[in-house]
Structure 1
Amino acid sequence: MSPLLNIGLGGGCHWCTEGVFASLKGIEKVDQGWISATDLPEKLSEAIIIHFNPEIISLHDILEIHLLTHSSSSSHRMRQKYRSAVYVFGEDQYAKAGRILSHFGEMRHEKLVTELLYFHTFKKNIPEFTDYFFTRPDALFCKRYIHPKLTLLNEKFGGHLNLKKLKKHGIQIPEK
């Protein structure tokens, strides 16, 4: 088994980002909270750090799912709190993620606002607000924002969804 890799992702609300990535095969752990980058170490924004097995899910698929499940081409007034970003942990990961993001940027007809940044600091959220989706799958917030993202993922990346985990928590995703 390959050693787990880490990458940070920011986009929308960290409850949504955490819920999406905690629902995927190959994601062994999700830390949810706030991340800062080396260019702005004092500026924290909502994000997650995922610990993933690259033999099960590739960085390419992780970044494609990330871009698909948040406003990666929208520069809105809440962008400071919800920075669209990929936080990397080294030069090799920076180069690989840069190539992947560039590829997706060329394929889309919209300019990506997603930033590629070096990770600096992580501040974990308090326990009562972590694993939000799996501890409250029937909450209105989850039904309104996370369930539709998982339905979209099932249509485009069904093989990556951990349907067994979702079922265990009573979460039904419409068949594709």
Structure 2
Amino acid sequence: MNKKIQIATLGGGCFWCTEAVFQKVKGIEKVVSGYSGGNAPGKPTYREICSGLTGHAEVIQITFDANMISYDDILVIFMTTHDPTTLNRQGADRGTQYRSVIFYHDDAQKLVSEEVLKQLQPYFDNKIVTEISPLDIFYEAEQEHQDFYKNNQGYGYCSFVIEPKLSKLRKLHADKLK
């Protein structure tokens, strides 16, 4: 069967977390950490993003085979492995750079995003605040942010923040794992 390659761009707090989650999912070809959704000119740096002044969110760009996993399924995994009900915050990470956001690549992705959020809302006690916006520019993050969990599993953040998200992934989406 031929591959049907598509791209999704998502922000669910720290990109180290979302990257680690999606690297474990069947049908995902590549996950790249980066930045999107800001208004500062030029390519932002991690330090600038962390200031919260550029308007960019930490995001991941996922290249996936739509014959193996649907965009809908990717969004369900995304929405259930972070908290889409907290505005500009994930756990202790606070600021617009940590917002919950779906950057759609075309009108079809926009429609699917709106529908998935509407279908998932009843499962959350609080209102979903995930932003749905068109993708403008995706900037790849610095090399030290790529494959962060794979390369730094002994780091405290990985144990205390990423591991619980991976545990949730295994519990809720075992059938979608590599």
Aligned residue among 55, 58, 67 for 1:55: 67
> Given that residues 7 and 49 in structure 1 are in contact (C-alpha distance below 8 angstroms), is that contact kept between their aligned partners in structure 2?
yes
Aligned residue among 130, 152, 159 for 1:143: 159
How far residue 57 of structure 1 moved from its aligned partner, in angstroms, is 1.6
Aligned counterparts of 2:111 and 2:162: Cα–Cα separation in 1: 30
Aligned counterparts of 2:171 and 2:69: Cα–Cα separation in 1: 17
Unpaired runs of at least 5, structure 1:
163-176
* Aligned residues: CA RMSD: 1.6
Unpaired runs of at least 5, structure 2:
41-54
How far residue 155 of structure 1 moved from its aligned partner, in angstroms, is 1.1
Q: Deviations over 1:114-141 (max 9, x none)?
A: 0111000111111122110111223221
Partner of 2:173, secondary structure, is: helix
Alignment-derived partner of residue 170 in structure 1: none
Aligned counterparts of 1:50 and 1:76: Cα–Cα separation in 2: 22
How far residue 108 of structure 1 moved from its aligned partner, in angstroms, is 2.9
Q: What TM-score does the superposition give when structure 1 sets the normalisation length?
A: 0.83
Alignment-derived partner of residue 112 in structure 1: 128
How far residue 76 of structure 1 moved from its aligned partner, in angstroms, is 4.8
How far residue 113 of structure 1 moved from its aligned partner, in angstroms, is 0.7
> Given that residues 35 and 48 in structure 1 are in contact (C-alpha distance below 8 angstroms), is that contact kept between their aligned partners in structure 2?
no
> Given that residues 41 and 120 in structure 1 are in contact (C-alpha distance below 8 angstroms), is that contact kept between their aligned partners in structure 2?
no
Segments ≥4 residues shifted beyond 4 Å:
none
Identity of aligned residues (%): 31
What amino acid does structure 1 have at the position aligned with 2:63? H
Aligned counterparts of 2:99 and 2:168: Cα–Cα separation in 1: 22
> Given that residues 20 and 149 in structure 1 are in contact (C-alpha distance below 8 angstroms), is that contact kept between their aligned partners in structure 2?
yes
